[in-house]
Structure 1
Amino acid sequence: MHAPRRYSRPGHPRCRQTFGSPGQTGSIGRGQIASARHRQQDFMICAIVQARMGSSRLPGKTLIPIADKPLLFHILDRVRTSLLVQEIVVATTNLPMDDAIEDCSRQYGVDVYRGSPTDVLDRYYCAARECRAEVIVRVTADDPFKDPHVMDEVIGAFLRSGTKLDYASNTIKPTYPLGLDIEVFRHSALERAWRESTDKFDREHVTPYLWMHPDRFQVLNVEYKEVLSWMRWTLDTKEDLEFTERVYSELYHGHPFFMEDILALLRKNPQLHQMCDQRLRKVTTEVISFEGTV
């Protein structure tokens, strides 16, 4: 489940980074990945993929077949394509229904941690502690287009910012399509949130305690060169599934494709582009009717 999008996002060719304190901006390019890889040699970076079978709108979506593979396999393929992630752990619940998540993850060849169905912060903290991760990359398993280039941009920005930084994301001020969210944080910051946070919302969504307290944590925000946050590239509804299947049928050839590939496809396929608009309006209407405001 996604936390409310109050963050910002990175991009491959050009993106802007904004610090919580003090404010700074700068350019990030793929050419800087090498220097980030040099800095990462001192500690281990682990991507923790949160996954579960329970979903009210699209039950079992984590293992839905997309292009003849479970969605979770595609997510793991994409994370594994990152140049900066060193380890991958799937964090699922201890409910019997999520035995299938564990089986699928082990079939792929990654470790699994099982914990609380509702206290996802506790699940993340325990998973990070068991794999001895010093830097954690948060990944959700309902994002079929998670981009390893974007992931490396945010991780790279985090590494280049020095040891005082606690948290980096591309979600504080959204500029990327929903579904390309990446969050990176130190184990020490995660542990502090785990110890101090008592709010149910914070425990469910893992990171709000970090980015909502810039007085306690050094926060970095990464933005893309243009605002694309109106695009919906996640998987929560049957309409999302239809869009995902269409894009994969056009672009998937046995290995991950990237954000720029999807944008190019949408530019030359007005029908697919229209599906983005229709799904945005539908979801916005649902949110207004449920919450009374967006």
Structure 2
Amino acid sequence: MKIVATIEARMGSTRLPGKVLLPALGRPMLAHLVRRLKAVSSIDEIVLATSTLEADDVLADFAKKYGIAVFRGSEEDVMGRVLGAAESVGGDIVVEITGDCPVIDPDLVEQTIRVFLRNNAAYAANSYISSYPDGMDTQVFTVDALRMSASMTDDPLDREHVSRHMVNNPDLFKHAYLIAPPSLHWPGLGLTLDEPADYQLLTKLIEHLGKDDPLFGCGAIIDTLKNNPEWLGINDDISRTNVRPQ
């Protein structure tokens, strides 16, 4: 069973254009994410799933430079794009990651994969039940499940939010969920790259922790923010639009 991590990324962003290639500690934010996914032992291949828009040509160049595969598909049909990305490299299992999670914890990604495999699930996530900081989000599902889901829905929201249909139909797709232990429980903490203030906070964390350990984990981030509570004010007032299917 080939396990493939797909990274959804585009250059277009109304709030922070070109955000995935903004620099931190001498590397693009997206490069920090790729390095972290390469450290996940269960992942066999990484595919950057971007659009066919000319503006995203630079992301295809990025993929080549950093030694990962690239698949280009619809800007709006993200479900179809992720499915195409996984199929393009012969994947059996998808580890779905969004490009705005540059400090995702490799251990949490690995743990989600193991829970998925151990429970013989069609879908597993550490994000459905809100407990980890926003930015640690990992979803795992079989390519067969995604293919089946894609064949069953044309709802624009389902096509935009890759797993929405699977999540809303647990009778068709067996689920498994991870919940954060007390030491990592901080669902209100925003560690995704959405706004200029997020970029400021994430850059501070990467520069502070990344020099000694480029793969610093969620626990190190939480400890750092507890020791530097003034940093929390940097992006504390951002309203997070976290779409949770009902």
TM tier relative to shorter chain:
over 0.9
RMSD over aligned Cα atoms: 1.2
Answer yes or no: is 1:188 the counterpart of 2:144: yes
Q: Could you tell me which residue of structure 1 aligns to residue 129 of structure 2?
A: 173
Q: What amino acid maps onto 1:229 in structure 2?
A: P
In 2: Cα distance, 1:102 partner to 1:95 partner: 11
Q: What's the CA shift for 1:82?
A: 0.6
- Given the two structures, how large is their TM-score scaled by the length of structure 2? 0.94
Letter in 2 for 1:85: I
Alignment of 1:233-252 (within 5 A): 233-252=191-210
Whether 1:269 aligns to 2:225 is: no
Correspondence 1:44 to 2:2: yes
Residues 22-66 of structure 1 show CA distances to partners (whole Å, capped at 9, x for unaligned) of xxxxxxxxxxxxxxxxxxxxx110001111100000000011111
Q: Does 1:109 align with 2:54?
A: no
Within the candidate set 186, 207, 221, 2:177 is matched to: 221
Q: Which amino acid aligns with 1:273?
A: L
Percentage of identical aligned residues? 33
Deviation at 1:274?
3.6
**Hey, what does 2:13 align to over in structure 1?**
55
1:132 offset after TM fit, Å?
1.0
Deviations 1:189-233 (Å, cap 9, x if unpaired)?
000111111100010111000011111110111101133101000
Verify the 8 A CA contact 1:146 1:179 in the aligned structure 2.
yes
Give me the whole-angstrom Cα distance separating, in 1, the residues matched to 2:232 and 2:82.
36
Residue type of the alignment partner of 1:188: D
- 1:224 and 1:281 mapped to 2: Cα distance? 24
Code of the residue aligned with 1:172 in structure 2: it is Y
Is the CA contact (8 Å cut-off) linking 1:64 and 1:71 kept in structure 2?
yes
Q: State the alpha-carbon separation in 1 of the partners of residues 90 and 67 from structure 2.
A: 18
**How far did 1:126 drift?**
1.1
Match of 1:66 in 2: 24
Counterparts in 2 of 1:150-161, with a 5 A limit?
150-161=108-119
Q: Secondary structure, in 3 states, of the residue corresponding to 1:139? A: strand
Q: SS of the counterpart of 1:138?
A: strand
Partner Cα distance (1:148, 1:84) in 2: 10
Equivalent positions of 1:193-212 (< 5 A) are 193-212=149-168
Q: For the residues of structure 2 that align with 1:90 and 1:198, how far apart are their CA atoms?
A: 24
> Aligned partners of 1:280, 1:242: CA distance in 2, in Å?
12
Where in structure 2 are there 5+ consecutive unaligned residues?
Answer: 242-246
Structure 1 unaligned residues grouped into runs of 5+: 1-42, 288-294
Cα deviation 1:94-148 (Å, max 9, x = unaligned): 0000000000111001110000010001101111111111110001111121110
The equivalent residue for 1:123 is: 81
Structure-1 separation of matches of 2:31 and 2:207: 16
Distance 2:206 2:174 in 1: 38
Higher relative contact order (CA 8 A, sep 6+): 1
* Kept after mapping to 2: 8 A contact 1:78/1:148: yes
Rg comparison, structure with higher value: 1
